[in-house]
Amino acid sequence: MSNIYDVVIIGTGPAGLAAGLYASRANLKTIILEKEKAGGQIVTTEEVANYPGSIADASGPSLIARMVEQAEEFGAERKLDEVKEIDFSDKIKVIKGEKEEYKAKSVIVATGAKPRLLGAPGEKELTGKGVSYCATCDGAFFEDLEVYVVGGGDSAVEEAMFLTKFARKVTIVHRRDKLKAAKSIQEKAFKNDKIDFIWNSEVKDLKGDGILEAMTLRNRETGEETEIVASEDDGTFGVFVFIGYLPQTSLFENVIDMERGYIKTDDNMKTNVDGVFAAGDCRVKSLRQVVTATADGAIAAVQAEKYIENNFEE
Instruction: List active site positions.
Output: 134, 137-138
What is the DSSP secondary-structure string of 54-100?
--TT--HHHHHHHHHHHHHHTT-EEEE--EEEEE-SSSSEEEEESS-
Give the number of other Cβ atoms within 10 Å of residue 146's Cβ.
Answer: 18
Residue (of 283, 159, 1, 24) closest to 9 by Cα position: 24
Beta-strand ranges (E) seen in 110-200 are 113-115, 131-132, 146-150, 169-173, 195-198
Q: Which of 56-75 are b and which e, b meaning 16 or more Cβ less than 10 Å from the residue's Cβ?
A: eebbbbebbeebbebbbebe
Q: How far is CA 185 from CA 107, 152, 155, in A?
A: 39, 11, 10
Per the document, the length of the chain is 314
**CB-based burial of residue 138 (10 Å sphere; 0-12 exposed, 13-18 middle, 19+ buried)?**
buried
Q: Which three-class secondary structure state does DSSP give residue 250?
A: helix
